[in-house]
């Protein structure tokens, strides 16, 4: 009888496992959403900015407000789809006016060696430690070399030593920093708490370039 029950029950095992896995996935997603919201609320208080809760199931919480006279936003976003779907954590500062300057600053490493193979070119500033650590691309090399003064380089190096894994980018109206992952990670919250000054410094550089480009 026991053996018969075992074989009779066996075909139903997948029917039980599938909803169990689905339930665990939903539970993990809810936990991550709650942790993300709680972490962002704490970060908003630390930075003196406004926390915006998620709107609905598909919405994401974010932080907005002024920092050094610039409109700043901290948020998660997603690129790709299916198995190629990637979630990013980002902070951006809006410029007062569009800038013709563009730049990307990222940590030197395997990824930068790959993009170099595809024709990407970096600039150097003559600071051996900085040039070894940062891969800098820009459409205005002379201006960017002058803008990366020792104080700016020191802040970028400090951010790198603190474990900053992402990239800074200026394209049009915003200077943005982004790295892979969500704000459910407490260590990421700590990195972003110290990120505002560097981001605003880079936004200042972009605004100087915009002013110089005015007739």
Report mean pLDDT in 10-residue bins for the chain, 215 residues: 49 58 54 89 97 84 96 96 90 94 94 85 95 96 96 96 95 94 95 95 94 67
- Fill in the DSSP letter of residue 96: S
Other beta carbons less than 10 A from residue 107's beta carbon: 16
Residue 34 lies in a domain: no
| CA dihedral for 188, 193, 196, 198, sign (positive or negative) | negative
Note the pTM of the prediction, 2 decimals: 0.83
Residue 10 lies in a domain: no
Residue 158 lies in a domain: yes
Residue 12 lies in a domain: no
Residue 25 lies in a domain: no
Instruction: Please give the angle made by the CA atoms of 80, 196 and 148, to the nearest 5 degrees.
Output: 95
Q: Per residue in 152-208, pLDDT tens?
A: 999 999 999 999 999 999 988 999 999 999 999 999 999 999 999 999 999 999 999
Residue 29 lies in a domain: no
pLDDT at 5: 46
pLDDT at 133: 97
The string of DSSP codes covering 144-164 is HHHHS-HHHHHHHHHHHHTT-
Q: Quote the number of domains for the chain.
A: 1
Q: Which residue range is the domain that position 74 belongs to?
A: 64-212
Residue 195 lies in a domain: yes
Residue 83 lies in a domain: yes
């Amino acid at each position: 009888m026991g053996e018969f029950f075992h074989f009779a029950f066996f075909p139903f095992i997948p029917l039980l496992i599938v909803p169990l896995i689905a339930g665990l996935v939903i539970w993990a997603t809810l936990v991550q959403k709650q942790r993300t919201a709680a972490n962002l609320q704490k970060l908003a208080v630390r930075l003196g900015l406004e926390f915006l809760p998620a709107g609905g199931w598909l919405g994401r919480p974010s932080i907005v407000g002024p920092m050094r006279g610039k409109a700043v936003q901290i948020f998660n976003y997603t690129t790709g789809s299916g198995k190629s779907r990637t979630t990013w954590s980002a902070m951006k500062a809006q410029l007062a006016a569009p800038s013709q300057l563009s730049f990307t600053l990222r940590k030197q490493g395997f990824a930068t060696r790959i993009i170099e193979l595809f024709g990407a070119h970096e600039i150097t500033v003559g600071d051996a430690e900085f040039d070894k650590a940062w891969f800098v691309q820009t459409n205005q090399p002379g201006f960017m070399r002058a803008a990366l003064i020792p104080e700016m380089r020191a802040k970028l190096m400090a951010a790198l030593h603190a474990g900053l894994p992402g990239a800074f980018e200026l394209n049009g109206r915003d200077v943005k920093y982004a790295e892979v992952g969500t704000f459910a990670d407490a260590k990421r919250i700590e990195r972003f708490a110290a990120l505002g000054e560097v981001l605003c410094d880079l936004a200042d550089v972009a605004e100087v370039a915009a002013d110089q480009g005015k007739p």
